[in-house]
Chain A
């Protein structure tokens, strides 16, 4: 399987992640969509690294993406819990205090 196949899988995963973020009305789905998008980026990094000869750069990038995704997930979960506590809702459209 060549580079194109991996990039195609990654593009499909990215598209589905964006779709999840747009279509579902729940902050947790937004989180899941973000994780899908980060995973798609990771597949791309590793695939281009594998088919581009020398060096570790792509893998290192992927590892740092995973690290940042873990940090992001922890902070985002804390924010979700706080938003739920404040608005009694997990719909992103209802967190609109700054509009008033």
Chain B
């Protein structure tokens, strides 16, 4: 069963209108924002899964990452929201788009039965775990607790505090350096490749 793109995106647009309204009905203005961001997160992921064109899939991740940044804002983690936009949208998404541009597209690769089968399998697994979790965990107490700090200053102090996260901070710096140098090393074209091209030509 192949949905025409117009029908699919029409359904997504209707859901995008309904979810903020449903959120507003459930929790006022904050609930409305939550509904919008939750729709962006999940709708972007659904479009990425469904869309035959990999360029559109990659761009739909924009909605997912942006919506996650909005959820971080709602949770009071403003520094994290900004870093999410900077790193995910500005960095990782751009890297994925480079990958898309440097490899050939294949518009016939998506198959509806495989997507549907995977959705059913993973959906059953997640539903089973969710049923187990919601039966054993009590979610009731949390909402009245005070909202913790965690703005840029506190996070910066936490990074440099010897009793805090300074070791992990240094470790992250080393990991980033090693990973980026390694990425350049792996991605470069070797002299052998040029020689082969020269002999083939």
Contacts and interface: CB of A to CB of B under 8 A. Distances in A.
Given A26-B109, A73-B96, A18 B122 contact: yes
A11 to B, nearest CB: 6
Given A53-B145, A74-B179, A84-B102, A16 B118 contact: no
Contacts of B115: 19, 23-24
B91 to A, nearest CB: 6
B92 A70 contact: yes
Nearest to B34: A1
B183 A74 contact: yes
Contact of B145 (A51, A72, A73, A81): A51
B187 A28 contact: no
Interface string A49-63: 111111110011011
Interface residues of A, number: 67
A11 B95 CA distance: 25
Contacts of B61: 32, 35-36
A23 B46 CA distance: 12
Interface string A67-100: 1111111110111111011000011000000000
B193 to A, nearest CB: 7
Chain A facing B: main interface SS: helix
Nearest to B120: A19
18 contacts: A1-B30, A3-B143, A11-B126, A36-B48, A39-B64, A39-B65, A39-B88, A49-B77, A50-B147, A53-B145, A53-B146, A60-B158, A70-B91, A73-B91, A74-B95, A75-B182, A84-B102, A90-B103
The 5 closest A-B pairs by CB, nearest first: A71-B179, A78-B187, A51-B142, A16-B45, A23-B118
Interface of B: 23, 26-27, 30-31, 34, 38, 41-42, 45-46, 48-49, 54, 57-58, 61, 64-65, 68, 71-72, 74-77, 79-80, 83-84, 87-88, 91-92, 95-96, 98-100, 102-104, 106, 109-110, 114-115, 117-119, 121-123, 125-126, 129-130, 134, 139, 142-143, 145-150, 154-155, 158, 165, 168, 172, 175-176, 179-180, 182-184, 186-187, 189, 193
Given A11-B130, A12-B42, 10 more contacts: A6-B71, A12-B45, A35-B92, A49-B150, A50-B75, A52-B145, A53-B145, A75-B186, A78-B187, A82-B186
